[in-house]
Amino acid sequence: MASITGSDVLINRKNIRNMQDVCEQYPKDKPKFDWLTKYRKMSKGARSLRKSTGATTVKMRHVKKSQRADAANSSRQMKEDERTRGESVHDSQERVRSEARDDLIRNSQPILANKSQMLGMPQFGLRDNLIKCELLKNEDAYTYIQNYSFFLGTYNVNGQNPKESLSPWLASSTTPPDFYLVAFQELDLSKEAFLFNDTPKEPEWMLAVYKGLHPDAKYAFVKLVRLVGIMLLFYVKMEHAAHISEVEVESVGTGVMGRLGNKGAVAVRFQFHNSDICVVNSHLAAHTEDFERRNQDFKDICRRMQFSQDDLTLPPLTIMKHSVVLWLGDLNYRISDLEVDHVKDLIAKKDFETLYNHDQLKRQMDEEVVFVGFTEGEIDFQPTYKYDTGSDQWDTSEKCRVPAWCDRILWRGKNIKQLQYQSHMTLKTSDHKPVSSLLEIGIKVVDEESYKRTFEEIVRHIDRLENDCIPSVSLSQREFQFQDVKFMQQQAKTVSVYNDGQVPCQFEFIPKLDEATYCKPWLTANPAKGFLAQGASVDIDLEVFVNRSTAPELNSGQQQLEDILVLHLDRGKDYFISVTGNYLPSCFGSSLSTLCLLKEPIQDMPLETVRELSMKSDIQGSNPETDKPQEIPKEIWMMVDHLFRNAKKQEELFQQPGLRSEFEEIRDCLDTGSSDSLPGSNHSVAEALLLFLDALPEPVIPFSFYPQCLECCSDSSQCRQIISMLPQCHKNVFNYLMPFLQELLKFSAHNRLDINILASIFAGLLLRSPTKQDITEKRKVKEFFQHFLVQMPSDRDIHDKSPE
């Protein structure tokens, strides 16, 4: 038995947190899995239980040495900070730029974290995981709550440069806050920022923030994260920096195709003492009528924002897995059902309560559609959007926007109290006013002596428990059938795993024999590994999602929705879960040559016929005499024809995303031929066209032509010569799309499109690289494509071509 002394210290709390979801009871239900015995034979045999706690402990002398080093680092940083406040603007700006770049290189390195240094341990074994689970359950025995102040600020700067001091906003509290989380939106509206995610305004606004921080305290810069114009800055008081660890940043674009970063979110998550915190800065979809799109953006951000862990085999952390979530930004929710004059009259009377009852965010939260579990403080300030830039006057432009509380700050978690929630009218740089919230948050702080006693008691208890019992679990279900799976439409089912054995167990899905991964690429299990205390259960989500990578082989019948998951217990046996389903073939993910051979919608044709035509098109795709193919796929014609007739003047066409529900209706219409006209908004049809092109297994300009295209990207005639050499159906599609895009440019005053925007959107879809592109290649691809957006006499008109 390993003895525990006073020199044994903390366990990595990040790994403790991973156990939170696996400590609930579930009824026993023992399965009888007598098939696939070859896997059992291969994996039989107990593995010895690790008894050493060396992986989870360090000696106290190392801790003291780390603390001394951190104190020295803090002292040096304070002196450096004092010097910086006396530097010239140019020198300060260069220093800020350097700090930011250096920080981005370090990326996920914790700063000045004595605890993070001693918690950065190797991968844990079964014994260690049991200790972590027990420590989590007994956390109240060795922690106490201490309050810290958090300043949260959000400002949509409308692409402007900093023109005034930010002190009235950032230093508005009487006492300096412990933390600063400062969020910006629309930092840069230029096309260069949108296309290449680079902007000179980043260091300019960083410097403005640094100079605007509260003058009565010294602050350490922790992290910067930016996605196009959405930026989040993180500062902390010098004396608290040593207690911050596990800093990670992520970003999610929710623009067109769920990728472009003109809308979306950035986030930072970190550990402070024993509390885990996530801060999200988001810029959601615009326009009064698009509240459903804002709801979808919020849900997409929550689903897709994932922070990787040190142990990459563990599932990533999502936003809602944190005990404290702080959400701020330009959420873009508007005032509904009131005329602009009525709204301004209520504002003049300071009747914010009546106005708030018409606020879209309030209504959506009341209906529990978004931000479930979040809290927002009382709003007693006038709307922060939209003003004439440089003034306090409401929008006097032709559009005369209805004033709205677009800029919001919300929170989720326990022991949080809002001290202030206000706008800052004195700042006039933008058409928005900045907003701030001062929160007092109760942080869990470890009492070292109490922790040591709790740790020793847990280890002694585990030593008594250890015996030769073999772990076992029961599964609620072992066969899963997914019905009518569709392209880009997720389905999920849940299997509950209950530890009915006498000892804790560690489970993991493992690869089958001669396979590299534990499941097919269209299937995931979440969590894929974990720890179960005795009598505990965990719900594992089995998710099926067919995307552009997996659709081609499913459409052609080369692959089916069939897989077997092997759930392995450390020191125990394996359990087998069968996953099957039927996939509904789609034009999305089918090849151009196959679609040109299909006379009917793909789901109206027998799968065997689709498979035969797919094989035939692969062999004879360049032969126009084979089965008299259509000149272009009817699906492309339907989408382009719809946009040509209805969307030439559509504002922000191909730049504003559609609704996912409408995309699904459009996909079903194309796949079944259920209607002669496409449903959904122009934006949804436009996004469907982009997704269609993105999902082609072979792009419009085939991969084999990619090197030639880059070589001649500067020569228009050579570029056109390459197009003339494409396989017939590929050439037809390219020559059909180009006049359509040229036609859109004639209405640029309405749709706000130009050659640069169209090239940036379509070039990477029509001329895709078989490998990852670097920035030079992206510029060459864009240059190649731009030659075809300038109409030539030889270009055919869009009306000259439609499916036969």
DSSP 407-449: EEEEEESSSEEEEEEEE-TT--SSSB--EEEEEEEEEEEE-HH
Please determine, for residue 402, whether its predicted confidence score (pLDDT) is greater than 50.
yes
Token representation of residue 730: 């590929």
Residue 727 lies in a domain: yes
Q: How far apart are CA 30 and CA 502, in angstroms?
A: 14
CA angle centred on 324, ends 318 and 329, rounded to 5°: 80
> Among 583, 604, 629, which residue terminates a domain?
583
Give tens-digit pLDDT for 319-333.
Answer: 999 999 999 999 999
Helices 660-672 and 634-646: angle between axes, nearest 10 degrees: 130
What are the residues facing 219 on neighbouring strands? Answer: 237
Same domain, 409 and 493: no
Token representation of residue 503: 């000892």
Residue 248 lies in a domain: yes
Q: Which residue has the tokens 């529900």?
A: 661
Q: How far apart are CA 544 and CA 566, in angstroms?
A: 17
CA angle centred on 708, ends 702 and 714, rounded to 5°: 120
Same domain, 300 and 373: yes
Q: How far apart are CA 620 and CA 622, in angstroms?
A: 6
Give pTM, 2 decimals.
0.75
Give tens-digit pLDDT for 362-382.
Answer: 999 999 999 999 999 999 999
pLDDT of residue 609: 84
Residue 207 lies in domain: 139-448
Residue 647 lies in a domain: no
Same domain, 172 and 259: yes
Phi, psi of 440 (to 5 degrees): -105, 115
* Alpha-carbon distances, residue 482 vs 518, 543, 660 (angstroms): 19, 10, 21
Same domain, 500 and 419: no
DSSP 183-201: EEE-S--SHHHHHH---TH
- CA-CA-CA-CA torsion sign (614, 618, 619, 624): positive
> Among 533, 564, 583, which residue terminates a domain?
583
Same domain, 291 and 401: yes
Mean pLDDT within 94-107: 37
Token representation of residue 662: 């409408």
* Alpha-carbon distances, residue 550 vs 391, 526, 546, 554, 556 (angstroms): 53, 19, 6, 7, 11
Please determine, for residue 605, whether its predicted confidence score (pLDDT) is greater than 90.
no
Mean pLDDT within 101-118: 32
Give the closest residue to 319 by CA, choosing from 249, 222, 226: 249
Please determine, for residue 70, whether its predicted confidence score (pLDDT) is greater than 70.
no
pLDDT band at residue 627, thresholds of 50, 70 and 90? Answer: low
Give the closest residue to 227 by CA, choosing from 269, 259, 180, 273: 259
pLDDT of residue 518: 95
Give tens-digit pLDDT for 550-604.
Answer: 999 999 888 999 999 999 998 889 999 999 999 999 999 999 999 999 989 999 8
pLDDT band at residue 197, thresholds of 50, 70 and 90? Answer: confident
Residue 93 lies in a domain: no
What is the chain's length? Answer: 804
Token representation of residue 242: 């040593």
Q: Which residue has the tokens 């897989």?
A: 563
Say which CATH number the domain at 726 has: 1.10.555.10
pLDDT band at residue 251, thresholds of 50, 70 and 90? Answer: very high
Give the closest residue to 324 by CA, choosing from 488, 443, 235: 443
Say which CATH number the domain at 390 has: 3.60.10.10
pLDDT of residue 43: 39
Residue 273 lies in a domain: yes
Say which CATH number the domain at 566 has: 2.60.40.10
For residue 65, whether the previous peptide bond is cis, meaning omega lies within 30 degrees of 0, is no
Work out how many domains the chain is built from and give that number: 3
Residue 79 lies in a domain: no
Q: How far apart are CA 42 and CA 37, in angstroms?
A: 9
Same domain, 421 and 480: no
Token representation of residue 460: 């002694």
**What value does the mean pLDDT of the chain take?**
83
Pick the range with the lowest mean pLDDT from 163-177, 458-472, 595-609. 458-472
What are the residues facing 422 on neighbouring strands? Answer: 436
Residue 695 lies in a domain: no
Residues 410, 327 contacting (CB under 8 angstroms):
yes
Residues 143, 274 contacting (CB under 8 angstroms):
yes
> Among 564, 583, 602, which residue terminates a domain?
583
Same domain, 485 and 391: no
Same domain, 165 and 290: yes
Token representation of residue 299: 């849900």
Give tens-digit pLDDT for 480-529.
Answer: 999 999 999 999 999 999 999 888 888 999 999 889 999 999 999 999 99
Residues 673, 711 contacting (CB under 8 angstroms):
no
pLDDT band at residue 72, thresholds of 50, 70 and 90? Answer: very low
Give the closest residue to 562 by CA, choosing from 508, 511, 612, 522: 522
Q: How far apart are CA 619 and CA 622, in angstroms?
A: 8
Q: How far apart are CA 798 and CA 195, in angstroms?
A: 28
Give the SS3 label for residue 175.
coil
Q: How far apart are CA 154 and CA 150, in angstroms?
A: 13
DSSP 344-403: HHHHHTT-HHHHHTTBHHHHHHHTTSSSTT-B-----S---B-B-TTSSSBP-STT-PPP
Ranked by mean pLDDT, the top range of 96-100, 262-266, 771-775 is 262-266
- Residue 207 identity: L
Mean pLDDT within 386-413: 95
Give tens-digit pLDDT for 278-311.
Answer: 999 999 999 889 899 999 999 999 999 999 887 6
pLDDT of residue 106: 30
Give the closest residue to 133 by CA, choosing from 611, 616, 510, 499: 499
Same domain, 576 and 508: yes
Q: How far apart are CA 186 and CA 250, in angstroms?
A: 18
Same domain, 271 and 349: yes
Q: Are strands 561-569 and 505-510 parallel, antiparallel or unpaired?
A: antiparallel
Same domain, 409 and 490: no
Residue 673 lies in a domain: no
Give tens-digit pLDDT for 117-136.
Answer: 333 333 346 677 778 878 88
pLDDT of residue 308: 87
Give tens-digit pLDDT for 31-47.
Answer: 343 434 434 334 333 33
Q: Which residue has the tokens 């006039």?
A: 428
Same domain, 416 and 532: no
Give the closest residue to 24 by CA, choosing from 133, 131, 132: 133
Mean pLDDT within 701-709: 96
